[in-house]
Amino acid sequence: MYLYLKNQTDLTSGDRPLKILHIGPEFCLQPVLTAIPNATYVSADLMSSLVDMLEVKPDVCMSVTHGCFPSEAFDLVICSHVLEHVDADREAMVELFRMTKPGGLAIVPVPVAWDCELTDERKELSPLQRAEYYGESDHLRMYGRDYLDRLREAGFAVMLHRLDDPSLAMRYRIDIDEPLVVAQKNPISESSREI
């Protein structure tokens, strides 16, 4: 994510004010994001047991399905490997869209079985079965390629970015075949969108 932000956007340059919302904050990204000049960084989590392990504690206790921020508040929203844990994931995507400024980005990677068209989502599975089918007992689904359609339904334009430098992939242990899912809110506000 950071390589994408640094090399493919101007968001880390510090040339302009930047508001960042980091949902389910990864401790490895927090110091990097908080160090961006002219950036206001806000982290949000449901305060799980893992929060005590974080170097920088979340600023806000918040559900991703009920954001506590105004509409169009953030230039950058990072919500990495959260949505597979959320029962109402489509509601969460709508909230992410709502809180993102027009022209802003939301980086929203999740586990995706790219060879499957449709998301596998069976609510009747036990935690043990979910661990077997989805890789983790607290994952509620394994997304298929239709994950991108779910983001589009929330209003985002969706882009896939792949690291094209094998030496960087090796250095940072990045799967070169795993694209980064980046969603952008169109610069046209909801109130002026053509129907």
pLDDT digit string (tens) for 68-86? 999 999 999 999 999 999 9
Report residue 133's pLDDT band, with 50, 70 and 90 as the boundaries: very high
Looking at residue 194, its pLDDT comes to 32
> In degrees, to the nearest 5, what angle opens at C-alpha 3 toward C-alphas 16 and 186?
55
Specify if 34 maps to a domain.
yes
**Does residue 35 belong to any structural domain of this protein?**
yes
pLDDT at 56: 56
In a domain, 13, yes or no: yes
pLDDT reading at 55 higher than 60: no
Q: Which has the closest alpha carbon to 159: 134, 190, 185, 188? A: 185
Question: Is residue 36 domain-resident?
Answer: yes
Residue 135 lies in a domain: yes
Residue 109 has pLDDT above 80, yes or no: yes
Helix, strand, coil abundance in the chain, percent, nearest 5: 30, 25, 50
Question: What is the average per-residue pLDDT within 111-129?
Answer: 95
Q: Provide the CATH number for the domain around residue 82.
A: 3.40.50.150
Tell me which residue of 106, 91, 117, 120 sits closest to 180, measured CA to CA: 106
Residue 38 predicted with pLDDT over 80: yes
Asked whether the predicted pLDDT for residue 14 surpasses 90, the reply is no
Q: What's the domain count of the chain?
A: 1
**What was the pLDDT predicted at 169?**
78
Per-residue pLDDT at 77: 98
CB 185 within 8 A of CB 114: no
The residue range of the domain holding 163 is 2-187
pLDDT of residue 48: 57
Q: How confident is the model at residue 50 (pLDDT cuts 50, 70, 90)?
A: low
When pLDDT is cut at 50, 70 and 90, the band that residue 173 belongs to is: confident
In angstroms, rounded to a whole number, what is the distance separating the alpha carbons of residues 84 and 173? Answer: 23
Asked whether the beta carbons of 9 and 105 are under 8 A apart, the reply is: yes
Residues 6+ apart with CB under 8 A from 108: 77, 79, 80, 83, 93, 96, 151, 181, 182, 183
Provide the pLDDT for residue 47: 64
User: Is residue 195 domain-resident?
Assistant: no
Does 70 or 188 have the greater pLDDT score? 70
Going by pLDDT thresholds of 50, 70 and 90, the confidence category of residue 150 is very high
- Average pLDDT estimate for 41-58: 69
Q: What is the pLDDT of residue 37?
A: 94
Judge whether 193 lies within some domain: no
**SS3 at position 107:** strand
Contact 86, 65 (CB under 8 A): yes
Q: Average of pLDDT values for 182-187?
A: 89
Q: DSSP secondary-structure letter at 188?
A: S
